[in-house]
């Protein structure tokens, strides 16, 4: 098995769960990132990573593992903190001049967009974010962070300075062999629409605010 860095500074990963398809430049308001596209062969689902600077130099990489949230990331919903966290993470990486953001297509903590909207309907009727998922027959969090492993290997990253408030995410990454050298808090301002959501994440899911 050849896992030595290639001329492009990445690591070949045979028999991975994701296939790297293409990379390109992505200009943003904060920096011009390198955008890497990956596809799950078994499902056709697409995931991306954004990198800035030399992330394959062996040093811990400032990183964010961000699960897709169309309502927060693309439609500016105030019900969650996802959109502001995504923007804050990209800004922090740009300020540091080096880092990586992994954007996983796991909408609604893994239950999908339509089911997330169903969960929102239950929340409108009084359920909290955990209760709503469970009433629909799902676990509170169904995300699969193993998707990060072939992406990290492809990019030559082994140690993260992870921007997260979620200790379960850290435990999941360590369980698959990714070293977390530091947890970097990513605190977003509360508003009347996300107050209960953030409180539930702290009380029931152990998030650190």
107 is in an annotated binding site: yes
Q: Tally DSSP H helices, then E strands, for the chain.
A: 7, 7
Active site residue 143: yes
16 is in an annotated binding site: no
Among 98, 143, 161, 183, which one carries the catalytic annotation?
A: 143
Residue 108, number of CB atoms within 10 A of its CB: 27
CB 34 within 8 A of CB 25: yes
108 is in an annotated binding site: yes
65 is in an annotated binding site: yes
Residue that the structure tokens 């992994």 belong to: 102
68 is in an annotated binding site: yes
CB 47 within 8 A of CB 102: yes
Active site residue 98: no
28 is in an annotated binding site: no
83 is in an annotated binding site: no
20 is in an annotated binding site: no
Angle value at C-alpha 35, between 84 and 185, nearest 5 degrees: 35
Q: What is the 3-state secondary structure (H, E, C) of 118-157?
A: HHHHHHHCCCCHHHHHHHCCCCCCCCCHHHHHHHHHHHCC
148 is in an annotated binding site: no
Among 141, 153, 161, 196, which one carries the catalytic annotation?
A: 141
Instruction: Summarize the annotated binding site as residue ranges.
Output: 64-69, 80, 82, 85, 107-109, 129, 164, 169
Instruction: Summarize the annotated binding site for Zn(2+) as residue ranges.
Output: 69, 80, 82
Residues annotated catalytic, as ranges: 141, 143
Instruction: Summarize the annotated binding site for GTP as residue ranges.
Output: 64-68, 85, 107-109, 129, 164, 169
């Amino acid at each position: 098995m050849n896992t030595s860095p290639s001329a492009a500074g990445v690591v070949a990963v045979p028999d991975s769960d994701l296939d790297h398809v293409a990379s390109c430049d992505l200009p943003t308001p904060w920096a011009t990132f390198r955008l890497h596209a990956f596809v799950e062969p078994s499902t056709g689902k697409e995931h991306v990573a954004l990198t800035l600077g030399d992330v394959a130099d062996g040093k811990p990489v400032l990183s964010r593992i961000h699960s897709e949230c169309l309502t927060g990331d693309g439609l500016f919903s105030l019900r969650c903190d996802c959109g502001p966290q995504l923007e804050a993470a990209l800004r922090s990486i740009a300020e540091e001049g080096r880092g990586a953001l992994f954007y996983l297509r796991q909408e609604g903590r893994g239950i999908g967009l339509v089911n997330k909207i169903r969960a929102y309907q239950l929340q409108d009727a009084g359920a909290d974010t955990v209760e709503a998922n469970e009433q629909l027959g799902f676990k509170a969090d169904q995300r699969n962070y193993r998707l990060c492993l072939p992406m990290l290997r492809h990019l030559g990253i082994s140690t993260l300075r992870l921007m997260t408030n979620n200790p379960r995410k850290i435990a999941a990454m360590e369980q698959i062999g990714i070293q977390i050298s530091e947890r970097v808090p990513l605190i977003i301002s509360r508003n009347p629409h996300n107050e209960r959501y953030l409180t539930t994440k702290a009380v029931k899911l152990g998030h650190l605010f």
